[in-house]
Amino acid sequence: MATLAAFRFDNSFARELPGFYTPWRPVAAPAPRLLFFNRSLAEELGLDIASLDGPALAETFAGNTLPDGAEPLAQAYAGHQFGRYSPQLGDGRALLLGEVIDRQGRRRDIAFKGSGRTPFARGGDGKAAVGPMLREVLIGEAMHALGIPTTRALAVAATGEPVIREQTLPGAVLTRVAASHLRVGTFEFHAARGDVDRVRKLAEYTIARHDHALASSPQPFLALLQAVAERQAALVAQWMNVGFIHGVMNTDNMAISGETIDYGPCAFIEAYDPDAVFSSIDDQGRYAFGNQPDIARWNLARLAETLLPLLSDDPEKAVAMATKVLVAFPAQYRGHLLRGQRAKLGLCRGEPDDDGADAALAEDWLSLLHAERVDFTLGWRRLADAAAGDEAALRALFADAHAPDAWLSRWRARCASEDQGMQASAMAGIERANAMRRVNPFVIARNHRVEEALAAASDQGDLAPFERLLDAIRRPYDEAPELAPYAEPAPAAVTARYRTFCGT
């Protein structure tokens, strides 16, 4: 069969970092069938999609025919998993095919997941099941539509082969697009072996790829650490402002690029709760919703350790330099969080927050949602209606309709302080509501909807619920009547029982 010339590969990782990977090939799938193809992402990547027909796409995205120019390889990485160091993880069932430069000139990785065992597979079978791979599609597209940096799915192909888990499941291969697959764990792998030259090479490669402007900085490696910290502060703040729980923030699942990566046991919260944990293996709540900023900093400390020998010949100096970055992280994070919260509250003026009044206003709103067990997403969305003058839908979310009275009057006073001088405050209210509706989603990928769509696809081969949900989560700010079922929270009892699993 002819191979596809659709990708114009330029494989810098393979070319520049020998010794950081093992060349490896995907295992052939017996009966490939395309379950999902992301046309808009394909266009963004500049793929020559006109030349692609269905069967050829299925063969390619199941790993049976490699596209021209692909140089598949398994990347080496280590990682701290639940706080414990694993010296050798690596791509056990994933392969980087190569990189393409997209239409905007950005370099993007094209990688398989579930394409068979590699030398890093340890006990694993190298495979992936349809459900978890379609989950990566849904959550990645949801995050993308919410404006949150994320890896995205280009395709999912069923392999026609069963995968043995607790049950026998249909197998699939995901094709994932990422700014890169460089992880904190990639640095740890080489640092733990005491290979400072390789850590330096990796850091130089990373700077050239993600932080080109830093190459000429007087302290490029310190600047890299700062840049990664800045991206994580911004990313985790965005997660917190949409109620996203990653679920398995091990250092091998933290991307240097600042994209959200590896959608395994992730979930969106329903009622606001900082202690929310859904992952079946996170029994200590290490990766609970409210812990995510602290865990990001913990992971950055692991990255910082790998860079110490590059920062200064004087170990004490190196530690002092890295510590400064880590100490600055919480304030950096809070700055991003507050910026997002202000937009969600419909506030646009008022920086800086010297007296902490806006941070307290946001904090008290969250405490109110928590105490009254109000749905996080709808609480924010209905606050936009309140800005437009209609408080009924907001009050209906509270068991006691007057519970938000005191907070609402504080918020109104704060809004009024921004509206001074405006001709008609009703007009200001409508404008504020519209601005709030552009940042407070109506539709998120609700857990029960995701599960329902994945079960239909995996158990019955019925992709219709998946496709309908995908359409809904791709327009999260659109309050169209047909999307209303996707905005409904799950019954509290369902959420209380909800458990997520690693995508193995």
Q: Which of 141, 211, 262, 273 binds Mg ion (CB under 5 A)?
A: 262
Q: Which is nearer to ligand AMP, 124 or 356 (CB)?
A: 124
- Which of these ranges, 85-93, 238-246, 350-358, 364-372, lies near ligand AMP under the rule CB under 6 A? 85-93
Kindly state the smallest distance separating residue 499's Cβ from ligand AMP, in Å: 16
Comparing CA positions, the residue from 369, 355, 362 lying closest to residue 339 is 362
Asked if 90 is part of the footprint of ligand AMP (rule: CB under 6 A), the reply reads yes
Distance CA 493, CA 373 (A): 13
Asked if 500 is part of the footprint of ligand AMP (rule: CB under 6 A), the reply reads no
Asked if 372 is part of the footprint of ligand AMP (rule: CB under 6 A), the reply reads no
Distance CA 388, CA 270 (A): 24
**Candidates 109, 252, 273, 375; catalytic one:** 252
Kindly state the smallest distance separating residue 153's Cβ from ligand AMP, in Å: 15
Tokens in use for 113? Answer: 């997941």
Asked if 456 is part of the footprint of ligand AMP (rule: CB under 6 A), the reply reads no
Distance CA 11, CA 72 (A): 10
Distance of CA 422 to the CA centre of its chain: 39
Kindly state the smallest distance separating residue 367's Cβ from Mg ion, in Å: 34
Q: Which is nearer to ligand AMP, 26 or 476 (CB)?
A: 26
- Which of these ranges, 84-92, 210-218, 289-297, 471-479, lies near ligand AMP under the rule CB under 6 A? 84-92
Kindly state the smallest distance separating residue 253's Cβ from ligand AMP, in Å: 5
Residue window 101-120: x/- pattern of binding to ligand AMP, with contact defined by CB under 6 A: -------------------x
Kindly determine how many residues on this chain lie close enough to bind Mg ion according to the rule CB under 5 A.
Answer: 2
Asked if 91 is part of the footprint of ligand AMP (rule: CB under 6 A), the reply reads yes
Number of Cβ within 10 Å of residue 138's Cβ equals 22
Tokens in use for 262? Answer: 């590896």
Number of Cβ within 10 Å of residue 25's Cβ equals 15
Do residues 121 and 96 make contact, with C-beta atoms less than 8 angstroms apart? no
Residue window 124-163: x/- pattern of binding to ligand AMP, with contact defined by CB under 6 A: xxxx------------------------------------
Residue window 424-443: x/- pattern of binding to Mg ion, with contact defined by CB under 5 A: --------------------
Kindly state the smallest distance separating residue 295's Cβ from ligand AMP, in Å: 15
Number of Cβ within 10 Å of residue 482's Cβ equals 10
**276-279 contact pairs (CB < 8 A, 24+):** 276/245, 277/245, 278/245, 278/247, 278/447, 278/498, 278/499, 278/500, 279/247, 279/248, 279/499, 279/500, 279/501, 279/502
Q: Which of 253, 306, 332, 458 binds ligand AMP (CB under 6 A)?
A: 253
Distance CA 65, CA 286 (A): 41
252 assigned to active site: yes
Cβ-in-10-Å burial (0-12, 13-18, 19+) of 179 comes to buried
- Which of these ranges, 47-55, 121-129, 175-183, 372-380, lies near ligand AMP under the rule CB under 6 A? 121-129
Range 234-253, binding Mg ion (CB under 5 A)? 253
Distance CA 331, CA 315 (A): 26
- Which of these ranges, 57-65, 122-130, 145-153, 286-294, lies near ligand AMP under the rule CB under 6 A? 122-130
Q: Which of 262, 270, 273, 375 binds ligand AMP (CB under 6 A)?
A: 262
Burial 405-419 (b: 16+ CB within 10 A, else e): eeebeebeebbeeeb
Task: Assign 268 to helix, strand or coil.
Answer: strand
Distance CA 7, CA 47 (A): 6
Q: Which of 41, 73, 89, 304 binds ligand AMP (CB under 6 A)?
A: 89
Residues that bind ligand AMP (CB under 6 A): 89-94, 120-121, 124-127, 252-253, 262, 264, 502-504
Residues that bind Mg ion (CB under 5 A): 253, 262
User: Catalytic site residues?
Assistant: 252
